[in-house]
Amino acid sequence: MSKHAVLYRMMTDKHICPFGLRSKDLLERQGYQVEDHHLTSREEIDAFKEKHSVDTTPQTFIDDERVGGYEELRDFFGKDEAGQQGTSYTPVVAIFSVALAAALAMVLPGALLSLQTLMLFIGFAMILLAVQKLQDLHSFTNMFITYDLLAMRHLRYAYVYPFVEAYAGIGMIAGFSAWLVAPFSLFIGVVGAASVCKAVYIDKRELKCACVGGSSNVPLGFVSLSENLFMIVGALLMMFI
């Protein structure tokens, strides 16, 4: 006997509710046949809310009982919303993985385990991390100035930081002169490493890292420190190898 659910969700000419689509997908993955009702106008939406005494859509009904919105539906099936709550290293892992894949693609079919591969990896990682910060400079700086030792004293440094990071990453990939790139990478790397060590290991503060932008849930710690260590290693390789 097939399971049956009734879903009411907003779908107007100007807006399609993402949580309505998520609810439909979740129900179908749980083996339900979904009776999908579209609320196509503000009048229909308001009338539905008033009829069922609810404040939001979508709303799901199973066995003639209202389950509720998307979060209530996930609770109904005993599921946690992955990636929406708590801290996560996923953004950093994704960036480092893409950077490594790009670096390996650049050296194929040559020697994969080489200093060139390492330099390319560091350069790509720095660029990707800088782009994450540059998406919303205000949010990034709000988070960054709470632990970076130099940005605490000179707030404008927080705005300059991602541009310097991007420049250094591009320079490593393009093979610019070491003395045009390495000092910048070394400077921000050393200041960043010292800042993370002080905030996390000395002051024992629980903070979120601004390394992937100001809206991330990446905890400040060793993974955050690795960004700065890569900058330092990249700078030293450029200067002395």
Query: Which pLDDT tens digit goes with each residue over 79-131?
Result: 875 444 556 788 888 999 999 999 999 998 777 788 999 999 999 999 999 99
Query: In the prediction, which pLDDT does 86 show?
Result: 53
Q: Which two tokens stand for residue 120?
A: 């390319």
Higher-confidence residue of 213 and 85: namely: 213
pLDDT class for 136, splitting at 50, 70, 90?
very high
CATH superfamily, domain at 3-76: Glutaredoxin (3.40.30.10)
User: Helices 222-240 and 90-107 sit at what angle, rounded to 10 degrees?
Assistant: 30
User: 222 vs 169, which has greater pLDDT?
Assistant: 169
What integer is the mean pLDDT of 185-193?
97
pLDDT of 177: 94
Per-residue pLDDT, 56: 95
The dihedral sign for the CA sequence 93, 95, 100, 101: positive
**Max Cα distance, the chain (Å):** 73
Task: Report the predicted TM-score, pTM, of the whole model to 2 decimal places.
Answer: 0.77
Contacts of 44 (CB under 8 A, 6+ apart): none
